[in-house]
A and B are shown apart, each in its own frame.
Chain A
Amino acid sequence: MPRFRIISIALHLLVSVWALFVLAPVVWMVLAGFRTRADIFTQPLGLPKSLGFDAFVRAWNTGIAGFILNSVLVTVASVGLIVAVSSVAAYVLARSDHPALKWIYVLIVASFAVPAQSVLVPLYQIISGAGLLNSLFAIVLPYAAYGIPFTTVLFYAFFLEFPRELEEAARLDGCNRLQVITRVVLPLSGSAMASAAIFQAVFVWNEFLLALLLLTDKRIKTLPLGMLNLRGQFSADWPAIMAGVTMVTLPMLILFVLAQRYFVRSLAGLGK
């Protein structure tokens, strides 16, 4: 089937071009970290002349380890809070037909539409007024607040389809209402949880705007700020900037490739 052959080759070519377009900047980022400033300036497209780690050391010394630690802490705390708080809220909303709860659901859906940009000024004033600027704890709260609406809506849809017979059976076995949630509903909601957790983790890990506003102390900056810091510190020292970005990005990429099955599946689940 020559016609089919030609189409197949053309399609392969098309996806290959895009794959190449995606890969090239990543490869270039890694290579740039091994080059020297003068070398990049005179030959932007050249390859590294030697495998020196100077730029990596320079970038590492800006405190990348600390930024990573801060980001891990903030992400774990925020995602934990979001999932815990949203799941119980969504469960109650999905199981009760009290009229007040309908309104609360609408309110939560509406707050999903509020962009953080549009409340920057009062958000800053509230956190500052509570004396919580420059505290990792303080940034977890708004992160959670901005993750909760979406996650609650997601769980709400999930719980509506959750088989009630299981819950009733548990009640008959003598579980109280809290135990029904913790022993029956939550353990069986793994996929929805994972989906929401991964989505929120990506959001929190990358969040930049609120961090820019609320974290100015270098010791508690998260990774996105840490990377911006690289640019502030090295300005046009591209090897050092790219070395820093590589050190932060490459582990994430490797992690992703290893776990991509779960990753892709859970994100794809959002569309359902």
Chain B
Amino acid sequence: MISGALRGLRLAGWNGAMLAPALALVGVFVLIPSVVTLAGSFFAFGITSSAWRFVGLDNYLQAFADPIFWVALRNNIIIIVGSIISQVGLGAILAAILDRGIKRGSTVYRTITFMPVVISSVAVSLIWLMIYDPNVGALNALVKAIGLRPPRLGWLGDPSISILMMLVTAAWANVGFQMVLVLAGLQAIPKELYEAAALDGARGLKAFWYVTLPGIRNILVVGILITTIGGLKVFDFVFVMTGGGPANATQVMGTYIYLQAFTLGNMGYADAISIILLLIALALGVAQLKLSRRG
């Protein structure tokens, strides 16, 4: 594929010169590493050892038999689905309110809601790590203040809720972005459409259903795609807040690859998990292309 492309390039030197930097960078840091990852996934080798041993599909079989791999995959799915509901859903609702629901203060609300987008994810993680801390955290103190009992093992220490706590943090950080995205879409809907709908007797919720939703359908698809890819790639929040713990309960694909490759030194195994992640990402990309073409 690339060779054909490059033969074409030589025919068109100008095109080649313009494309070369982009292709070189993408080739060296994205495409070649992908191929090397694929090759590495058929070998057993450690971070500090130079001996590569061919193991065929063993790394993949090991992944399918590894309960933590499934925990990580499940957590990615929880984060993706949870984020679509909380971030895109809430973002759309807030955007709809700011667009047509209220008259005063919408700029202030928009500014505040969007603010966390410019805070780096490590900073967000640190802020929320302190909020969730069982000893000095605000959340424990608040919950106690209203007479309830905080979780005994801590918000991030309790394996049954720690992943949900991550979702709350992610929503805090990202709802603003989704809101702004949807808001732009809403403002692009011509007012005449609403007027025409009103003549046909469609107001309020009905207008929302028949005019607003179709108008922002494509934007919602983009928002869902960004959220899905973000959920698949999630690393920073988990790495900083729990490191995948307690006992792997919040492990995601990204942190598990890092753990296997650089902490436990199972490079070949990490490569196999990487390829699985890559295939999922590619499949999602194709699905999105299909979806947006239909629209």
Contact = CB atoms under 8 A, between A and B. Distances in A.
**A–B: direct contact at CB < 8 Å:** yes
A111 B115 contact: no
B166 to A, nearest CB: 15
A224 B112 contact: no
Contacts of B79: none
Given A110-B282, A111-B26, A141-B25, A260 B114 contact: yes
B119 interface: yes
Contacts of A104: 5, 19, 23
Interface string B164-197: 0000000010011100110111001000000000
B92 interface: no
Interface in A89-123: 89, 91-93, 96, 98-101, 103-104, 107-123
A44 B136 contact: yes
Given A22-B115, A264-B110, A103 B123 contact: no
A141 B137 CA distance: 40
A14 interface: yes
A99 B8 contact: yes
B111 interface: yes
A92 B29 contact: no
B3 to A, nearest CB: 10
B249 interface: no
Nearest to A231: B126
Contact of B119 (A119, A148, A253): A253
Contacts of A260: 111, 114
Contacts, number: 300
Contacts of B223: 271
Interface string A21-49: 11101101100100000001100110000
Name which of B21, B32, B229 has the most chain A CB atoms within 10 A of its CB. B21
A134 B175 CA distance: 35
Given A249-B123, A271-B184, A22 B112 contact: yes
A11 B97 contact: yes
Contacts of B117: 202, 267
B183 A268 contact: yes
**B interface, size bucket:** 35 or more
B247 interface: no
Contacts of B19: 88-89, 92-93, 101, 104
Contacts of A110: 282, 285
Interface of B: 1-2, 4-9, 11-12, 14-15, 18-19, 21-23, 25-26, 28-34, 36-37, 40, 90, 93-94, 97-98, 101-103, 105, 108-123, 126-131, 133, 135-138, 140-142, 145, 172, 175-177, 180-181, 183-185, 188, 218-219, 222-223, 229, 232-233, 235-236, 239-240, 253-254, 257-258, 261-262, 267, 270-271, 274-275, 277-278, 281-282, 284-285
19 contacts: A18-B175, A28-B127, A29-B127, A41-B136, A45-B142, A107-B1, A108-B22, A118-B277, A177-B14, A209-B235, A209-B258, A224-B121, A228-B122, A242-B130, A252-B119, A255-B118, A267-B117, A270-B222, A271-B219
